[in-house]
Amino acid sequence: MRKISIAIIVSLLAAFVAPAQKPVRILSLNNSLIEVNGQTAMFNAMAAADGLDMRWDKRTQLGRTLLFHYNDELSKALVASQPWDIIILQEQSSLPRTMPETLLESVKLWKKFIMANCPNPQAEIIIPMNWAYSGEWERFKEDSQALHKSFMNVARDIPGVRVCPVGDAVADVFERGGAAAAGLLYNDYCHPSLRASYLAACMEYGMITGRDPATITFVPDGLDRAVAKEMRELASRFTPWRK
C-alpha cells in the first residue's frame, strides 16, 4: 500500500513538472549598428537573468550590406550550420532610405537561401528598422518616415519577415524631445550610444521572447539605471512583444 501511494505521488508530481525548455538559437548577419556597444551580449545577459536558454550569435562585417553578406561564403555557411530559430538581418544604415528596392531584394534573396539551406527552413526572420542620421535634424522626420515605409514594405511583401521598429522608437524621441533628446541616442552621425543599443536589445528581446521589455532586469555597466528604465518603457511601447 505504501509503495502504491509513493508511486501515485511521484506520478502526480511529474504531471506538474514543466517540460524541459527548448534552447533558442539566434544568428544575426550585421554590421556596426549591432556590433557597437555589444548589443548581442546585452541580449544574452537579459536571457540569463531571466533563466532562459537563449543565445544570440553573430557574423559582423563592418560597414557592409545584406547583399555583401549574401555574397560571402562564411555568412552563408553560418546560416546553413545549424537549425537557427531566429535569423536577424541588419542592413547598412542609409541603404533602406536611399535604395529601398535593394533592401527588399536582399531580404528576398536571404529568405530563399534560408528556406533552401538552413536546417530549420522555417526560421523566423527579423529585420531591425534603421534610424535617421543625427545632425540632419531639419529632415529627420522625413527620413524616419522613409525608413519606416521601406521596412514595412519588406514585411508586407515577404511572408514570415517581422520588423523590429527601433527606428520608430528613435523617431518618437525626436518628436517628443527634439534634437537635444534624440542626440543622446547617438555616438556620432549614425552609430548608437549605449542607451540606444540597450533600447534595441530590449526591443529584440521583447519580440523574441514575447515578454514585455519593461520587465527586463539586466542593466549594462555604464548605463544609468533611470535612463535604462526610460529605454525599457520606450521599448515596451514600440515593440510588438505580445505573441
pLDDT in tens, 67-112: 999 999 999 999 999 999 999 999 999 999 999 999 999 999 999 9
Of 107, 82, 67, 66, the residue nearest 23 (C-alpha): 82
How many other CB atoms sit within 10 Å of the CB of residue 191? 17
The answer to whether the CB of 203 falls within 8 A of the CB of 213 is yes
pLDDT at 6 over 70: no
pLDDT of residue 14: 42
Q: Which one-letter amino acid corresponds to residue 92?
A: Q
pLDDT in tens, 13-71: 444 444 456 899 999 999 999 999 999 999 999 999 999 999 999 999 999 999 999 99
**Could you say which DSSP state residue 141 is in?**
H
pLDDT at 173 over 60: yes
Q: What pLDDT band is residue 243 in, cutting at 50, 70 and 90?
A: low
Q: Is 55 helix (H, G, I), strand (E, B) or coil?
A: strand
pLDDT of residue 242: 72
Question: 41-67 burial, b for 16+ CB within 10 Å, e for fewer?
Answer: ebbbbbbeeeebebebebbbbeebbbb
Instruction: Give, in degrees to the nearest 5, the angle at Cα 226 between 220 and 227.
Output: 65
pLDDT in tens, 211-242: 999 999 999 999 999 999 999 999 999 999 77
Place of cell 539566434: 26
- CATH 3.40.50.1110 for the 20-238 domain, yes or no: yes
pLDDT at 116 over 50: yes
Which range (5-9, 26-30, 186-190) has the least confidence?
Answer: 5-9
Average pLDDT over residues 116-122: 97
CA distance 237 to 93: 23
pLDDT of residue 7: 46
Contacts of 24 (CB under 8 A, 6+ apart): 52, 53, 54, 55, 85, 86, 208
pLDDT at 200 over 80: yes
pLDDT at 10 over 70: no
